[in-house]
Amino acid sequence: MTYAAKNLTTDGRELIAFRVGAQEFCVNIMSVREIRGWTPATPMPHAPSYVLGVINLRGAVLPIVDLSARLGMTPADPTVRHVIIVAQVKSQVVGLLVDAVSDILTITNDKIQPTPDVVSSEFEKSFARGVLAIEGRMICLIELEAIFPQEEREAA
Amino acid sequence: MDMNEIKEIFFQECEEQLAELESGLLKLNDGDRDPETVNAVFRAVHSIKGGAGAFGLDDLVSFAHVFETTLDCVRSNRLDPGPEVLKVMLKSADVLADLTNAARDGGSVDEARSRQLIKELEALANGEVPQASAAPVEVVAKPVAAVAAPPVNEEGFQPVAFSFDDFEAAEEPPLMETPTYEIVFRPKSDLYAKGNEATLLLRDLSRLGDMSIHCDMEALPTLDRLSPESAYFFWKIQLATDKGEDAIRAVFEFAEWDCDLEISLASDEAASSDEELPMQPVPFDLSILDDEPAVSVGVVEEEEQLASQQLGNAAVSVAGTASNVLQMAQSAARAPAEKAAPAASAAAQGAAGQQAAASAATPTIRVDLDRVDRLINLVGELVINQAMLSQSVVENDTNGTSSINMGLEELQQLTREIQDSVMAIRAQPVKPVFQRMSRIVREIADMTGKSVRLITEGENTEVDKTVIDKLAEPLTHMIRNAVDHGLETPEKRLAAGKSAEGTVRLTAKHRSGRIVIELADDGAGINREKVRQKAIDNDLIAADANLSDEEIDNLIFHAGFSTADKISDISGRGVGMDVVKRSIQALGGRINISSKPGHGSVFTMSLPLTLAVLDGMVVTVANQTLVVPLTAIVETLQPEASAIHSFGANQRLISIRNSFCPLVDVGRILNFRAIQANPVEGVALLVESEGGGQRALMVDAIQGQRQVVIKSLEANYTHVPGIAAATILGDGRVALILDVDAIVAASRGQSLKPEMSLAAVG
Amino acid sequence: MKKRVLTVDDSRTIRNMLLVTLNNAGFETIQAEDGVEGLEVLEEANPDVIVTDINMPRLDGFGFIEGVRKNDRYRAIPILVLTTESDAEKKNRARQAGATGWIVKPFDPTKLIDAIERVTA
């Protein structure tokens, strides 16, 4: 499925929530291009462990990132039940392997609570933009550009 | 087509003419004195001037005009195109290019520079040859307007631009009494020989006002003595017009040299008189026949048919004289058209014939690049589809249906041909990029005060247009670097026993399916001690690192590396050779440097001819499918146990016809497996790398040969050492294309990973 | 019948301008890129009038005009020279080569058409 881009008002935004392991995360819907099922990826030599490889997305080569591993959790063991969120990160397009997409949330900015200061690593601080309390669940809003700092990758 | 489109064509053409101009000037600079070279240079500027004039691009016209005038001096051997003269001309070519760009994009130009060059060009045209030690550029406040003024006619000939506006105004009733002119018009034979018709001139004259004409035919000889193309008649005309004598002369503009023309104001009495002038036979100047023997009687003898036709016309004219001369004139004027008519119908093979003539004139067409690209993309998809189809036929085991297989084979071949043809459309010589470099060299030589000679070779080597387009930037950077850092100052060069003038040599050639571009300078070479120290200072290498000369030289490709003591304005703009390297890699290319202290450096770039497809061998390595570019493979071998020899701790060699070649396990080097595979169970691909030297690449199995469509990895991922690009195979999965040279280099002990480790990945 | 004009000019820009101008004025236009081609297509083009540039590769305007004048069928055809050079020397050479008249560039459409009308019936 594809989500058409919408104009967001300054105080309202749409987010896509998904599950990675036992935790829930969400990203701005504007950066999501499409959501598709898992297909086996071609492994890349010398790639970081969280890069599962590349797949063919209608003629383009798309890297697939295991978000679980990227966020420092247990690496995923991809199955047909996993899904790939195709997202735009700056000028590049990447596929994020997640367990499932759970929700599309429409929220206002005041619903976003600051990240609790239990997080220790600089890395976690860099991508966590806050948390949301929705129906008793805790959903962490993450910044994709912080997870994939493009400049560094280009410098490789 | 509207004017804007034509203007766009004009600018495209300007680009070509500028390239032509520059290459011509460079040829002259190399001592070429072929008049055709000079002509071509002149024509280039002339064409730009002509087109610019049509669009009212005055700055461009003025400059081109001065430039053209000076070039004309060269063309007519009044000015010898020595080195100093050419220096001025090359700079002028640059300014002309700037003016063209400014006219197109609305930018501004360095006016002081163009004024200075105008002055220098004029000086050249006036026979002042500059000295080699010309004073530094001084800004001269010469008004441009002086140059923009219309060209002076040395011989006092004032071109009369056609303007019939005056005639249109004539239809208004004259306010004052209209003056009457008496005109005596005696055509010479040449008038007709040049395609002018006295009758047409009279027709035009009649449009100026009320006119009466008298034809004098006294001079008409008897038929047997008549030369059909000689002029025997003359006319006396009375014309009442308020347009003035100039308007009358303008009518005869084309005929001026080929007739005797007397124009005088008639007396008031005569003017007001309506009665016809009495016939006054004016003595006919027979000498006109003697003057013009060129229109010979011989024509009559040789071309009787034509002659009789002409006689016929003459007869018509004679017959018509009695009544209305003007009418006769018109009918006579029609005669040439009628004369041509039979020939016309004979030749006219309808519109088709015309189009054939027109198409013969245009052996090339211009096509939008977008259209070609669209075609290329479609062909790319076709190639993938064809591969998928082939694969599913194999998988579905169509036993006994050889017609399907034959059809598939034909399809494959056709696809192949289409692809090759499409690729050929995009292939272009590297010439334009190379030519741009000569300007870069000139500018930077000026800025650094160095004397530089750029030699280009192989500029007709063809490569895909995208490669050419993307080549300009890294090449510009490298050229700047070569002049700024590579070459020494003239003083240092002389002290080192070299000529004061440094040489930069830019070469292109095809080699094993790639284009190899070399940039060599005869400068000081890499200062390895300095580079090494800098690398240590920047924590690129350990202080006690043991690096080979080659490794030190290649350090300059690391990010943020600049050896210049001070950041110069030229090559120190925050971009270093690392950027160059990355842009070359993004093109699927490689770059390396070899340097000889005191003798200079050579940068070698090797690039694919096209960014779209390559012929590959599809192989299996550690359960992965990889593609090895076919161009790199010399041969394939099935190693036998007896041919494998261990060497040192974990090196193995394979003996091939009594020589030993290192074995490289591709799976191991790409980290696809932890331990080396057993060579006997796999296949060895003997490859030759860019740096020479052979290696045997071990793969597990060969799947087949295929043409694959190249897909960028960098677009969404990053450059991967050892991997050139990716492709999509028949099963729809991505396969990686091996970068053979990088693999070979890695096998020499250079890790595939240093670039990765330098950057903070993840 | 439409009048046919053969234009000879190596500049694509000028060729296009001529084409547009002449077609708009109701002429049939045949174009050649230089003197050599001009002579090659002459017979087939069978023009009523020729408009030619002077500075061209392979065969310049002077040579082209001389070539046309040597052809019996076309030795009396009106030939107009397009020239940016207004000096008398150039015109004289064109005239000696057999040009009927000239048009000083930059031409505007009216100038061109008027000149052609002027030398053709």
Q: What CATH number is associated with residue B528?
A: 3.30.565.10
Same domain, B440 and B422: no
Across all residues in chain A, what is the average pLDDT?
Answer: 82
Q: How many B/C residue pairs have CB atoms within 8 Å?
A: 169
Q: List the beta bridge partners of residue C4.
A: C28
Helices then strands, each counted (H, E), chain A: 4, 10
CA proximity to B317, closest of B237, B211, B184, B217: B217
8 Å CB contact of C84 and B49: yes
Q: Is C96 on the interface with B (CB under 8 A)?
A: no
Same domain, B668 and B563: no
Higher pLDDT, B647 or B163: B647
**For B700-745, how does the pLDDT look when each residue is reduced to its tens digit (9 = 90+)?**
999 988 878 888 888 888 888 889 889 988 778 899 999 887 888 7
Same domain, B570 and B448: yes
- Please give the Cα distance from B382 to B374 (Å, whole number): 12
Same domain, B193 and B255: yes
pLDDT tier for residue B657 given thresholds of 50, 70 and 90:
confident
Same domain, B528 and B665: no
The answer to whether B79 touches B120, Cβ cutoff 8 Å, is no
Other beta carbons less than 10 A from residue B514's beta carbon: 22
- On the question of pLDDT at B298 being above 60, the answer is no
pLDDT tier for residue A101 given thresholds of 50, 70 and 90:
very high
**For B309-325, how does the pLDDT look when each residue is reduced to its tens digit (9 = 90+)?**
444 444 444 433 333 44
HSE (CB half, 13 Å, CA atoms) of B135? Answer: 5
Residues of A in contact with B726 (CB under 8 A): 42, 54, 61
- On the question of pLDDT at B156 being above 50, the answer is no
- Strands B259-265 and B452-457 turn out to be unpaired
Angle of CA points B604, B486, B448, to nearest 5°? 135
CA proximity to B682, closest of B754, B596, B606, B622: B622
Strand order in the sheet with B234-240: B210-216, B234-240, B180-187, B259-265
Q: What is the pLDDT of residue B624?
A: 92
HSE (CB half, 13 Å, CA atoms) of A5? Answer: 7
CA proximity to B513, closest of B372, B707, B693: B707
- On the question of pLDDT at B134 being above 60, the answer is no
Q: Which amino acid is at B238?
A: Q
Higher pLDDT, B26 or C85: B26
pLDDT tier for residue A18 given thresholds of 50, 70 and 90:
very high
Q: List the beta bridge partners of residue C50.
A: C6, C79
**For B199-248, how does the pLDDT look when each residue is reduced to its tens digit (9 = 90+)?**
777 777 777 778 777 777 766 666 666 666 666 677 788 888 777 777 77
The answer to whether B198 touches B187, Cβ cutoff 8 Å, is yes
Least trusted range by pLDDT, from B336-340, B373-377, B601-605, B749-753 = B336-340
**For B165-204, how does the pLDDT look when each residue is reduced to its tens digit (9 = 90+)?**
433 444 444 455 677 888 888 777 777 777 777 777 777 7
Q: Please, which chains are in contact with B (at least 3 CB pairs closer than 8 A)?
A: A, C
Average pLDDT, integer, range B131-150: 40
Residues of A in contact with B755 (CB under 8 A): 156
- On the question of pLDDT at B275 being above 50, the answer is no
Same domain, B241 and B338: yes
- Domain-embedded: residue B148: no
Name, in order, each residue with C-beta under 8 angstroms of B141's C-beta and a sequence gap of 6 or more.
B115
Which of B356-365, B489-498, B605-614 tops mean pLDDT?
B489-498
Q: Can you give the CATH number for the domain in which B17 is found?
A: 1.20.120.160
**For B527-581, how does the pLDDT look when each residue is reduced to its tens digit (9 = 90+)?**
888 888 888 887 777 788 777 888 788 888 876 565 554 444 444 444 577 778 8
Which of A82-86, B84-88, B438-442 tops mean pLDDT?
A82-86
Other beta carbons less than 10 A from residue C49's beta carbon: 23
First to last CA, chain B: 55
HSE (CB half, 13 Å, CA atoms) of B14? Answer: 29
- Please give the Cα distance from B367 to B376 (Å, whole number): 14
How many domains is chain B partitioned into structurally?
A: 5
Other beta carbons less than 10 A from residue B281's beta carbon: 9
**Among partner residues B670, B671, B726, which is closest to A54 by beta-carbon distance?**
B726
Average pLDDT, integer, range B397-410: 75
Q: Which amino acid is at B674?
A: A
Residues of C in contact with B42 (CB under 8 A): 55
Same domain, B198 and B292: yes
**For A51-81, how does the pLDDT look when each residue is reduced to its tens digit (9 = 90+)?**
999 998 877 899 999 999 988 888 888 888 8
Residues of B in contact with C37 (CB under 8 A): 360-361
Q: Is the ipTM of this complex over 0.90?
A: no
First to last CA, chain A: 34
Cα torsion angle, B467, B470, B474, B477, sign: positive
Residues B427, B431, B437, B441, Cα dihedral to 10°: 160
Same domain, B414 and B458: no
Of all residues in chain C, the percent with pLDDT exceeding 70 is 93
Q: Taking a contact as any Cβ pair under 8 Å apart, which residues of chain B between 331 and 350 contact chain C?
A: 333-334, 336-337, 340, 343-344, 347-348
- Domain-embedded: residue B146: no
What does the radius of gyration of chain C's CA atoms come to, in whole angstroms?
13
- Domain-embedded: residue B145: no
Same domain, B581 and B633: no
HSE (CB half, 13 Å, CA atoms) of A77? Answer: 0
Higher pLDDT, A20 or B175: A20
- Domain-embedded: residue B674: yes
Other beta carbons less than 10 A from residue B395's beta carbon: 10
Q: Is B149 on the interface with C (CB under 8 A)?
A: no
pLDDT tier for residue B698 given thresholds of 50, 70 and 90:
very high
pLDDT tier for residue B398 given thresholds of 50, 70 and 90:
low
Residues B619, B622, B626, B628, Cα dihedral to 10°: -60
**Among partner residues B51, B334, B362, which is closest to C14 by beta-carbon distance?**
B51
Average pLDDT, integer, range B11-39: 86
Decide which of B548, B573, B608 is a domain's last residue.
B608
Q: Which residue of A has its CA nearest to B754?
A: A156
- On the question of pLDDT at B352 being above 80, the answer is no
Same domain, B558 and B706: no
**For B55-104, how does the pLDDT look when each residue is reduced to its tens digit (9 = 90+)?**
888 888 888 888 988 888 888 888 888 888 888 888 888 888 888 888 88
Decide which of B89, B107, B125 is a domain's last residue.
B125
Q: What is the pLDDT of residue B535?
A: 81
- Please give the Cα distance from C105 to C84 (Å, whole number): 5
Q: Identify the CATH assignment for C4-119 out of 1.10.10.10, 1.10.238.10, 3.40.50.300, 3.40.50.2300.
A: 3.40.50.2300
What does the radius of gyration of chain A's CA atoms come to, in whole angstroms?
15
- E-state strands within A73-149: 83-89, 92-98, 100-108, 128-134, 137-142
- On the question of pLDDT at B296 being above 60, the answer is no
Q: Please, which chains are in contact with A (at least 3 CB pairs closer than 8 A)?
A: B
Q: What is the pLDDT of residue B313?
A: 46
The answer to whether C83 touches C91, Cβ cutoff 8 Å, is yes
Backbone dihedral region of A36: left (phi > 0), alpha (psi from -120 to 50 degrees) or beta?
beta
Q: Is C90 on the interface with B (CB under 8 A)?
A: no
Which of B127-131, B400-404, C45-49 tops mean pLDDT?
C45-49
Instruction: Say if B and C touch: at least 3 Cβ pairs within 8 Å.
Output: yes
Q: What is the pLDDT of residue B348?
A: 39
pLDDT tier for residue B277 given thresholds of 50, 70 and 90:
very low
- Please give the Cα distance from C18 to C111 (Å, whole number): 12
- Domain-embedded: residue B151: no
3 state DSSP class of B17: helix
Higher pLDDT, B292 or B387: B387
CA proximity to A97, closest of A21, A2, A15, A14: A21
Q: List the beta bridge partners of residue B687.
A: B633, B695
Q: Please, which chains are in contact with C (at least 3 CB pairs closer than 8 A)?
A: B
Query: Residue C28 — φ and ψ, nearest 5°?
Result: -95, 130
- Domain-embedded: residue B168: no
pLDDT tier for residue B521 given thresholds of 50, 70 and 90:
very high
- On the question of pLDDT at B692 being above 80, the answer is no
Chain C closest-CA separation from residue B580 CA (Å): 37
Q: What is the pLDDT of residue B285?
A: 38
8 Å CB contact of C79 and B54: no
- Please give the Cα distance from A59 to A53 (Å, whole number): 15
Q: Taking a contact as any Cβ pair under 8 Å apart, which residues of chain B between 252 and 271 contact chain C?
A: 253-254, 257
Q: What is the pLDDT of residue C86?
A: 62
Chain B closest-CA separation from residue C56 CA (Å): 7
Same domain, B579 and B456: yes
Decide which of B608, B623, B639 is a domain's last residue.
B608
Same domain, B582 and B628: no
This prediction has a pTM of: 0.47
**Among partner residues B717, B735, B736, which is closest to A63 by beta-carbon distance?**
B717
pLDDT tier for residue B750 given thresholds of 50, 70 and 90:
low
- Domain-embedded: residue B161: no
CA proximity to C101, closest of B162, B624, B308: B162
**Among partner residues B10, B254, B306, which is closest to C100 by beta-carbon distance?**
B254
Q: What is the pLDDT of residue B273?
A: 43
**For B44-53, how does the pLDDT look when each residue is reduced to its tens digit (9 = 90+)?**
898 888 888 8
Element (H, E) at B453: strand B452-457
Q: What is the pLDDT of residue B516?
A: 92
Structure tokens at A37: 């099922």
Name, in order, each residue with C-beta under 8 angstroms of B10's C-beta and a sequence gap of 6 or more.
B51, B52, B54, B55, C12, C13
Across all residues in chain B, what is the average pLDDT?
Answer: 73
Name, in order, each residue with C-beta under 8 angstroms of A149's C-beta and a sequence gap of 6 or more.
none
Chain C closest-CA separation from residue B202 CA (Å): 10
Write down the residue that tokens 């006054």 correspond to. B280
In the predicted model, residues of chain C with pLDDT beneath 70 are 84-87, 121
CA distances from B367 to B33, B425, B578 (A): 36, 10, 36
- Structural domain boundaries, residue B73: 3-125
